[in-house]
Amino acid sequence: MLLRVFYLLLVLLNLAAAIFSADRYSRKDFPSDFIFGSGTSAYQVEGAADEDGRTPSIWDTYAHAGNMGGATGDVSVDQYHKYKEDVKLMAETGLDAYRFSISWSRLIPNGRGPVNPKGLLYYNNLIDELVSHGIQPHVTLYHYDHPQALEDEYGGWISRKIVKDFTAYAEVCFREFGDRVKHWTTLNEPNIFLIFSYDLGMLPPNRCSPPFGFNCSQGNSTSEPYLVAHHLLLSHASAARLYKEKYQSKQLGLIGINVYGFGIVPLTNSTEDLLATQRANDFYLGLIADPVVFGDYPESVKRNAGSRLPVFTEHESNQVKGSFDFLGLNYYVEVQVKDNSASLKSEHRDLMADTAIEMIFNGDFQKDEYPIDPRGLQAVLEYFKQFYGNPPVYIHENGQRNQRTSSLEDTSRVKYMQANIGSVLDCIRNGSNTRGYFTWSFLDVFELLGGYEVCFGLYYVDIDDPLLERHPKLSAHWFSQFLKGSTVVEDGIIQLPTTQNFSPLDPLNTP
């Protein structure tokens, strides 16, 4: 623990000493192989929920039970039928890459067994369309949406049986798409999934237990989050090992795992808050990142969770350790941490009580626009560098939330992107091994927290429009011009090259 606190002090000292020099920058300031992209996920964007052999995922079941106020992803923005239009927009915007996930229940409807030929055709077509436009496909295998069939059969992630089924699903993807997909991510945000779905029960499969969580009919908040974490890690390691042993040498791709990263900083400089900040990193990041880097859970997690935390065998530890070529990072907001050691006095605890901290957000995390503060993202990247040995990192999600509106003047999103892209550049200049940045999201999609009431997209889609037309927001124009070489100056303003004569509101294909 003392070594971890030492690394945390290094992070905080580097942040305190940082010179935020990237108020003015252009794409040319980034390494030549740095990747800029945008992303979505299957349930949130595809639609066609009951077409061409797809079966329900846990998200279909959850949404149709009324948990999203009647909103569902049945149609969403219909990328299943409009993928060619969307890929053309990506190319016009200037994206290097598109991050998307595969729907397990579209590709293998029963969770195991026969592959759905129409699902296979769709993903082949999407990948071919991306490649033909010079856009790299970055594929996530699991984004919160395993088949309901596996949930019904054995409880999904609470059963070790899912390791075998997930590995078989992953092999279908590697075998069928790996000749063109060079960047694979096994799991999206497993560190958040296990809390929101198995401790708080806010998201499917809606498992929790009193006095924790939100109106769940089944589950155990004290033990299931740790059990699920263990099975997620074993599944990731199994799929990554399969890829590395059987496919990587031929396909020449990379495989990694994604985590959600809060920009965690102490509320005060007290020893108690400093120790609390390290516990926050251990539980909310290290629960997933420590095993894949070091082969075991953080000591503070093992101590506070006790027998509720599964133990890796020596073989499992060796399989999990080093099971990645890169780490994916989703970052949105900074959070301050205050010590709350009193929570450990309660005999009946969930994972959040085990952390013995209080998390303080700047604003309402569920409703407000996110504060524009580059310190949080820098804190996460600096922590990766200092504590995890500076692995290759792709920022898979970063974006500003707004209430959904037809207004295309999303100035706060432009300022948010300008500040965070600038902070990434600062981190790279300070030695961070960050390799790419993806905005969330390319389109206004069905949001897992908020449905259609909130949005993150570069492109507005009116879900009441039968044609579901895509409309570029100011942020789409801004990002496009940045990607095409324009200089960013203070407050997100684009300074155009003197040889060009267009404004931020010109069409995206302006020469």
- Residues carrying an active site annotation: 189, 397
| Residue 93: exposure state from Cβ atoms within 10 A (0-12, 13-18, ≥19) | buried
The overall longest dimension of the chain from CA atoms, in Å, is 69
Which residues fall within 8 angstroms of residue 65, CB to CB, at 6 or more apart?
Answer: none
- No. of helices (H) and no. of strands (E), the chain: 19, 17
At CB < 8 A and 24+ separation, what contacts does 25-29 make?
Answer: 25/421, 25/422, 25/425, 25/487, 25/488, 26/482, 26/485, 26/486, 26/487, 26/488, 27/482, 27/483, 27/484, 27/485, 28/485, 29/425
| Residue 451: exposure state from Cβ atoms within 10 A (0-12, 13-18, ≥19) | middle
- C-alpha separations of 496 from 40, 94, 416, 490, 504 in Å: 29, 16, 20, 13, 9
Query: Is the CB of residue 382 less than 8 Å from the CB of residue 14?
Result: yes
* Bond before 190 cis per omega within 30 degrees: no
Helical residues (DSSP H) of 243-374, grouped into ranges? 248-251, 271-281, 287-294, 299-305, 314-320, 351-354
- C-alpha separations of 352 from 213, 280, 380 in Å: 11, 10, 20
Q: Residue 307 carries which side chain, given as an amino acid letter?
A: S
What one-character DSSP code corresponds to residue 443? B
Number of C-alpha atoms within 13 angstroms, CB side, residue 168? 13
Cα(147)–Cα(163) distance, integer angstroms:
14
